[in-house]
Structure 1
Amino acid sequence: MLQAIGLTSAPRRDQPPAVDDLTFEARPGSVTALLGAQGAGKTTALRLMLGLEQGRGVAYFRGRPLHRIAHPAREVGVLLGDMPGHPGRTAKGQLRMLCDAAGVPASRADELLDVVGLGPLRDERLGNLSLGMDRRLGIAAALLGDPHTLLLDAPSADLSPRETSWLHGLLRAHAAQGGTVLYTTADPKEAARAADHVVTIDAGRLVADQDAASFSGTRLRPRVAIRTPHAARLADALSKEARAGRRSVEVVADGGTRLTVYGSSCPEIGETAFRHGVLVHQLADEIGDSGPVPAARQGGDDPRDDEQRTTARLPVQTGAGGAAPLPPVLDARPTRGPLRPFRYELRRMFGVRTSPLIAAAVLLVSLAVALPLAHAGTTPPAGLLAAWPALLPLPPAAMGAGLIGALAYGDEYRHPALAGARGTVPRRLGLLLAKLAVTGAVAVLLALVAAALDGAALRLLYGADALPGPGSWPALGAGWAGLALGCAWAGLLGAGVFRVTAAGVTSVIAVPVLVVPLVKKVPTGPSAHPLAGLPEPVRQLVRLGRPHETDSWLIGMLRLVTRPEATALGLSLTVLFCAFVFTGLRRRARW
């Protein structure tokens, strides 16, 4: 059972709260519709239940608040708005990535695609899906963890009648298996047709809490729609005959040629039009919405109202195939092992072409810069391998690594893959570590491949003299790898703090442009031999065999670490990590 108790959103700019002291229940085994006009507070109510909106109140999912549930995806399936995701990702790739986030087997994605009718389109990219297909994919994402409760925000908006019928059948099939379904809608007729229970809200407050039969009897009124070129004459005739017969008939003019009549029937109106010689183009029975019913009228206390309102529940449509199928039940509980977030991040990074294209562009630009530099002969060999002229703040490999790192969180906010469950990118410790590890490994590999490619091209065109000596390769390799690693992490943390890719790229560029000049202005003391501070046994062990080469290698490494660029990069990473922790890293990390 889903219980919402005292939900109240935080007021903004001296305006009343969008949701004010809202309390209701959604029972298992039934479909509950949260009904309200646009702006009534339906979406805000769902976000309050999920803890995505600031406010008061609590929502219990089978007796537990969401933050106390170990595996939220196994308890609550959520669809807020359209299906999020990178338009270049395939439907299968999107669901498999979310399977890793939910801790369920990847095979679950193929099962859900078949259930929602997207099996033939599993390799179609999200940017090519229609609105109906996109909504089906969103339903599949909500069902990935085999949840007990479904929270869906306007799932049938802008869908065709056939797709709406399929959706209602799927929701009813989930409820028939003992699940709880709560979805929002602005259409009273849809609520009466598809739901077992209807909760009506207006201006954020509870208006009515009824079963579907009571809702139909108190909210929906039968009416007759008329089209005639003599609407005024017919309206006058209907009103006069109603007064003469002491009948309660309401005639509403909906336009120049349209009338809507409450409290009468097609035969009565047709006879009146015939007696007065009025030409009628259309005469049809309809079900109309009488608007939110005040609390005093919820039960239909006035018998005259009961005569004018229908109490029959509209039939549920499940499509030509009957009840919609559901995926098989998950037997194994999701694991909390360390590979889940790593697999998620690998699928996120390599599920689209962005990162491979960035890597290819970096290698081409690095070659295009290194070869002219070697021909000019003004750049030292170490700068040639990194393709780093003095006029550039960073070499191409470091800039590419920073961009890949910035996209690690930037794409999450632009195309939020995890928004289906949390509404925003979760600041989980396991997810952060996975992103740091994956982007760091890609950055180091990119830097080393770029240096190796540049070195091979330089050796082929200009000979071995254009390259640095073999003894300096370990220190140079460590320097390039460290620079690329630091840039990748700076971009990642910058995008995570400010929630946009551009902020991550700015954080990368700010290190050589702003932080390094500041570090160089800090006075430093006299330098000493790098090995002088080590204990004598350690120094003797280090110098065994080849003392001069070992000492030279360590001296090079220590000089590299103590350079202003390394100090500035380390300082920037420390500040960005502290800012990331301060702005949202949750104390209770789930993975």
Structure 2
Amino acid sequence: MLQAIGLTSTPRRDLSPAVDDLTFEAPPGRVTALLGAPGSGKTTALRLMLELDSGRGVTYFRGRPLHRIGHPAREVGVLLGDVPGHPARTARGQLRMLCAAAGVPASRADDLLEVVGLAGLGDQRLGTLSVGMDRRLGLASALLGDPHTLVLDNPAEGLSPRERSWLHGLLRAHASEGGTVLHTTSDPKEAARTADRVVTIDDGRLVADQDVADFSHTRLRPRVAVRTPHAARLASVVRREARAAQRSVEVVAEESNRLSVYGSSCAEIGDTAYRHGVPVHQLADETGDTGPVSASAGAGAGVRAVPRPASSVAISELPPPIPVRPARGPLRPVRYELRRLLGVRTTTMIMAAVLAVSVGLSVLLARSGRAPLPDLLVAWPDLLPLPPAAFGAGLLGALSFGDEFRYPALAAGRGTVPRRLGLLFAKLVVSAGVAVFLATASVLVDAEALRLVYGGDLVEVPANAAPLAVSWAGLAVGCAWAGLLAAGVFRLTGAGVAAVLAVPVLVVPLVQWLLSGPSARSIVGLPSRLRELAWLQWPYETDRWAMAAVRVVTQPVGVALSLSLSALICAYVFTSLRGRARW
């Protein structure tokens, strides 16, 4: 059972809310259509149900709001607009990535591609899909977690009549298994053909909540629309002549001097008006939804032209059920993040470009003979704020959260961007691993290039190789995390890149200025003093490593990165708590 209670959107400035105190139910085992003209608030209503937009009211999915459901993809399958995925990602890769997020086996992606008729197009890029294919893939994404409730925004848009029939059969099959189906449409005839219940809204308010038979009888019968300043007189004349001729004619008086005449024709109404001298301003045949009607009825029984009932829709094949509950554990978001990272060629292209630039700069620096060996190995000339590998790690970190906002693959499951700590930790772990890999690869490739161009005498292992390696890895990881957190806070990839560049350009000079004064105190002996405070005594050999780590952190770049990361973490936590408080 889906219960929407008092849904009201937040109005903008002096405008009225797009959805105003909307309350209705969608029972299980039935297909419910949310009907309304374009701009009537259907999509806003769905976004309020899914807690994607701010507002008042609550929606219960089998007695629980969405934010109280442990596995949203298992309970609610959603299709809003186009498939929210990177255009370079394949259809199969998109579904496999979402399988990892939902905690279901990756093999379910192929099962759903078969069900929605895209089995032969799994390797096609999302950017090349037609509108019909995009809707099919969106429906497959909604069905990934084997949900009980389907919430679909105009799912038949862009489909051919044959595809519409298949889609309606699939929705009917889901309902016949006891599931709940709610979909929006602006076509009253489609609502009458496919739904068991029709909820009509206008300007964000509830107009009618009817069984499909009542909806078809009151809203879809062929009629003659008449507008005249003498509506009551014409209605009386039409009724009198219908009784005299023993014909079944129904006259319904509406607002603005308008009549709806059922069981007659434009020619008959026009002749009657002419004979009795009644001026007519509008005379037209209509079949469709014209908004709410009043309860005024004329003499005679109306002729019911009820369209084909929804039960006559051919039932399509459903995907196989998932035998187990979605998996928990830390590997679930890590799998999602790895598939998101490696599912497009952007990551590989950035890494290849970074290594190529790093090799070129390293060879050019070595030619002058003035750069020290550590700068040669990481390709860090004085004129660049960061070495290529560190900047590349920051760019990949910024993309890891920036793409979530640009292509919100998880929007249907939980908010515009998932702010769950599990996904954040997964992004931190994966981005750190990528940064360490890129930093190590750049050093190895640069060393091999220098050995190849200038000979083996140039490249030697320095005496302080371990502290240098830790410092280099820390710089790369810090840049990756700075880009990731900044993109998560400001919801923009460019903001993440700007945060990475701000560390050496703005924060490092500020830290150097603060530390430029003479120091009257020294941190020498800090490890031994820490040993006195600790319960567990560590070996004396670790003092040297602890002191080396302290020296790395107290460098201007280390201090700047630490300050930047601390500020970004606080900002991220603040925005996360504010977003949760809004629910």
1-side partners of 2:529 and 2:329: how far apart? Answer: 41
Aligned twin of 2:396: 404
Question: TM-score, normalization: structure 1?
Answer: 0.85
Give yes or no for contact 1:85–1:416 (8 Å, CA) kept in 2.
yes
Cα 1:375/1:134, change in 2 over 3 Å: same
Aligned twin of 2:576: 584
2-side partners of 1:45 and 1:123: how far apart? Answer: 35
Q: Deviations over 1:519-572 (max 9, x none)?
A: 11214624647446515999995469xxxxx95x76654432211000000110
The one-letter amino acid of 1:312's match is V
- Do residues 436 (structure 1) and 423 (structure 2) align? no
The one-letter amino acid of 2:387's match is P
Q: Deviations over 1:70-89 (max 9, x none)?
A: 21111111111111101111
Give yes or no for contact 1:221–1:290 (8 Å, CA) kept in 2.
no
2-side partners of 1:133 and 1:447: how far apart? Answer: 41
User: Partner of 2:464: helix, strand, or coil?
Assistant: helix
User: Partner of 1:420: helix, strand, or coil?
Assistant: coil
The one-letter amino acid of 1:292's match is G
Aligned twin of 2:187: 187
Aligned twin of 1:152: 152
Cα 1:150/1:465, change in 2 over 3 Å: same
2-side partners of 1:29 and 1:419: how far apart? Answer: 26
Give yes or no for contact 1:427–1:585 (8 Å, CA) kept in 2.
no
Aligned twin of 1:67: 67
Give yes or no for contact 2:7–2:57 (8 Å, CA) kept in 1.
yes
Alignment map for 1:34-433 (pairs within 5 Å): 34-223=34-223, 245=241, 263=262, 288-294=287-293, 296-297=294-295, 302-304=297-299, 307=302, 310-316=304-310, 322-433=314-425
Give yes or no for contact 2:250–2:302 (8 Å, CA) kept in 1.
no
Give yes or no for contact 2:200–2:208 (8 Å, CA) kept in 1.
yes
Aligned twin of 2:514: 522
Cα 1:470/1:381, change in 2 over 3 Å: closer
Give yes or no for contact 2:58–2:65 (8 Å, CA) kept in 1.
yes
Aligned twin of 2:491: 499
Q: Deviations over 1:263-293 (max 9, x none)?
A: 4668988xx9xxxxxxxxxxxx987124111
How far the C-alpha of 1:143 sits from its partner, in A, is 0.7
How far the C-alpha of 1:199 sits from its partner, in A, is 0.4
Aligned twin of 1:5: 5
Give yes or no for contact 1:31–1:182 (8 Å, CA) kept in 2.
yes
The one-letter amino acid of 1:148's match is H
The one-letter amino acid of 2:292's match is V
Give yes or no for contact 2:250–2:298 (8 Å, CA) kept in 1.
no
How far the C-alpha of 1:107 sits from its partner, in A, is 1.3
User: Partner of 1:416: helix, strand, or coil?
Assistant: coil
User: Partner of 2:412: helix, strand, or coil?
Assistant: helix
User: What's the RMSD between the two structures over aligned residues?
Assistant: 3.2
- Do residues 462 (structure 1) and 457 (structure 2) align? no
How far the C-alpha of 1:20 sits from its partner, in A, is 1.1
2-side partners of 1:537 and 1:502: how far apart? Answer: 44
Aligned twin of 1:278: none
Aligned twin of 1:236: none
Q: Deviations over 1:335-362 (max 9, x none)?
A: 2211100000000000111111111100
User: Partner of 2:222: helix, strand, or coil?
Assistant: strand
Is the deviation greater in 418-427 or in 134-143?
Answer: 418-427
How far the C-alpha of 1:323 sits from its partner, in A, is 1.6
Picking from 467, 474, 490, the partner of 1:475 is 467
The one-letter amino acid of 1:108's match is R
User: Partner of 2:77: helix, strand, or coil?
Assistant: strand
How far the C-alpha of 1:364 sits from its partner, in A, is 0.2
Question: TM-score, normalization: structure 2?
Answer: 0.86
- Do residues 450 (structure 1) and 442 (structure 2) align? yes
User: Partner of 1:137: helix, strand, or coil?
Assistant: helix
User: Partner of 1:521: helix, strand, or coil?
Assistant: helix
1-side partners of 2:285 and 2:146: how far apart? Answer: 39
The one-letter amino acid of 2:528's match is L
List alignment gaps of at least 5 residues for structure 2: 226-234, 244-248, 252-259, 272-283
Give yes or no for contact 1:99–1:109 (8 Å, CA) kept in 2.
yes
Aligned twin of 1:253: none
List alignment gaps of at least 5 residues for structure 1: 226-238, 251-260, 273-284, 545-549
Cα 1:221/1:170, change in 2 over 3 Å: same
Aligned twin of 1:255: none
The one-letter amino acid of 1:53's match is D
Give yes or no for contact 1:403–1:504 (8 Å, CA) kept in 2.
yes
User: Partner of 2:494: helix, strand, or coil?
Assistant: helix
2-side partners of 1:536 and 1:80: how far apart? Answer: 56
